[in-house]
């Protein structure tokens, strides 16, 4: 009998997990989500997922534990609410802060310098329309100054940017905190780095982003539910936003499976695929965490969590029970 079943384990992650997995723990791995694998019952008493699996409600009474290999846990809270049961659950709060922050920097630099267009125009060596901007002295607004957000603060300051932060918990003495209204008024680049909560769904909607200045660059590396795709498409087509970069999507569980299956004509994909056509838009497959250093740390922390749960009946980093 299996001890744990790992869903959504891509090739490099599976290799790293196996490196740390003790010989006395029996595990199985798949790159698929739960809905793609379609087991009627849990294949093991402990299952490990990322953020795209849809947990069946029937699993709640059959599982001894859920381990999400993600820094966010909104999907676990959502599951608890739907099944009306708190299944013991763990998460990984500390493995990828720097990796996500560095990809975020990569995204805003690429948009400032028109990198997608630069690569396209290599083939005729044409430099028309490619004049970009320095990031030095630009104002960077980070909305959500948690573990990842604080890494962004350090990177922005290191690049000579004017860095502002928005957070209900102002725990860093070296961060210049402002209200979202004041921050948007000043910002050249806005990064969404918030945990997803019921009160910040659709936070960066059309009306809120319109409070910023024309040419604003918007980046979301947190949760897609915080920035509705249809609103972003409207803002880019109105030439109000200067650029958009997304690593997360507002219907990601469905979107990811449809794209993997090549079902690009499905209604659920129409808006995001339309957005992808714009030259000042960069879309990545929820991959900001994915460096060799972070994957190794992630795997080590996962096995540390698993061993602690088996020995103590609770996770070392447990998902908070408040919903």
Cα–Cα distance, 278 to 280 (Å, whole number)? 6
- Name residue, tokens 């008024």: 185
Angle between helices 147-158 and 97-112 (to 10 degrees): 50
Q: Tell me the mean pLDDT in the region 172-195.
A: 98
CATH code assigned to 97-283: 3.40.50.720
Domain chopping of the chain, boundaries: 4-94+292-312, 97-283
Q: How far is CA 78 from the centre of its chain?
A: 17
SS3 182: helix
Residues 6+ apart with CB under 8 A from 230: 271
Cα–Cα distance, 263 to 94 (Å, whole number)? 35
Angle between helices 292-312 and 11-20 (to 10 degrees): 50
Percent of residues, the chain, with pLDDT higher than 70: 100
Burial grade of 303 (CB within 10 A; 0-12, 13-18, 19 or more): buried
pLDDT in tens, 270-282: 999 999 999 999 9
Q: Could you tell me whether strands 162-166 and 189-192 are parallel, antiparallel, or unpaired per DSSP bridges?
A: unpaired
CATH topology of domain 4-94+292-312: Rossmann fold (3.40.50)
3-state secondary structure the chain: CCCEEECCCCHHHHHHHHHHCCCCCCEEECCCCHHHHCCCCCCCCEEEECCCCCCCHHHHHCCCEEEECCCCCHHHHHHHHHHCCCCCEECCCCCCHHHHHHHHHHHHHHHHCCHHHHHHHHHHCCCCCCCCCCCCCCEEEEECCCHHHHHHHHHHHHCCCEEEEECCCCCCCCCCECCHHHHHHHCCEEEECCCCCHHHCCCCCHHHHCCCCCCEEEEECCCHHHCCHHHHHHHHHCCCEEEEEECCCCCHHHHHHHHHCCCCCCHHHHHHHHHHCCCCEEECCCCCCCCHHHHHHHHHHHHHHHHHHHHHCCCCCECCCCC
pLDDT in tens, 302-321: 999 999 999 999 999 999 99
pLDDT in tens, 67-120: 999 999 999 999 999 999 999 999 999 999 999 999 999 999 999 999 999 999
Residue 139's pLDDT is what? 98
Residue 163: beta bridge partners? 140
Residue 242's pLDDT is what? 98
In which band, very low, low, confident or very high, does the pLDDT at 268 lie, cut at 50, 70 and 90?
Answer: confident
| Residue 53, pLDDT above cutoff 70 | yes
Question: Cβ(63)–Cβ(85) under 8 Å?
Answer: no
The number of residues making up the chain comes to: 323
Q: Do domains 4-94+292-312 and 97-283 have the same CATH topology?
A: yes
Mean model confidence pLDDT for the chain: 97
Cα–Cα distance, 64 to 31 (Å, whole number)? 22
pTM: 0.95
Residue 38's pLDDT is what? 80
């Amino acid at each position: 009998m299996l001890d744990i079943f790992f869903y959504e384990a891509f090739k490099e992650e599976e290799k790293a997990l196996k490196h740390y997995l003790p010989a006395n723990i029996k595990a199985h791995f798949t790159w698929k989500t739960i809905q793609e694998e379609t087991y009627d019952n849990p294949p093991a008493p402990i299952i490990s997922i990322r953020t795209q699996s849809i947990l069946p409600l029937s699993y709640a009474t059959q599982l001894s534990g859920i381990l999400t290999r993600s820094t966010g846990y909104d999907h676990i809270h959502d599951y608890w609410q739907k099944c009306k049961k708190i299944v013991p659950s763990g998460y990984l709060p500390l493995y990828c802060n720097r990796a996500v922050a560095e990809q975020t920097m990569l995204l805003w630099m690429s948009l400032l310098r028109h990198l997608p267009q630069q690569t396209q125009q290599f083939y005729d060596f044409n430099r028309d329309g490619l004049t970009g901007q320095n990031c030095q002295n630009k104002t960077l607004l980070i909305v959500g100054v948690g573990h990842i957000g604080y890494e962004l603060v350090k990177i922005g300051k290191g690049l000579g940017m004017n860095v502002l932060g928005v957070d209900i918990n102002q725990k860093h003495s070296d961060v210049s905190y402002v209200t979202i209204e004041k921050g948007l008024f000043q910002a050249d680049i806005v990064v969404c780095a918030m945990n997803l909560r019921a009160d910040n769904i659709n936070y960066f909607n059309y009306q809120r982003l319109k409070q910023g200045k024309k040419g604003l660059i918007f980046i979301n590396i947190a949760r897609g539910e915080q920035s509705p795709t249809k609103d972003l498409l409207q803002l880019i087509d109105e030439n109000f936003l200067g650029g958009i970069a997304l690593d997360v999507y507002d219907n990601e569980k469905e979107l990811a499976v449809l794209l993997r299956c090549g079902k690009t004509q499905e209604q659920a994909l129409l808006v995001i695929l339309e957005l992808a056509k714009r030259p000042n838009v960069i879309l990545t497959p929820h991959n900001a965490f994915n460096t060799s250093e972070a994957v190794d740390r992630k795997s080590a922390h996962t096995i540390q969590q698993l061993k602690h749960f088996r020995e103590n009946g609770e996770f070392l980093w447990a998902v908070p029970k408040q919903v």
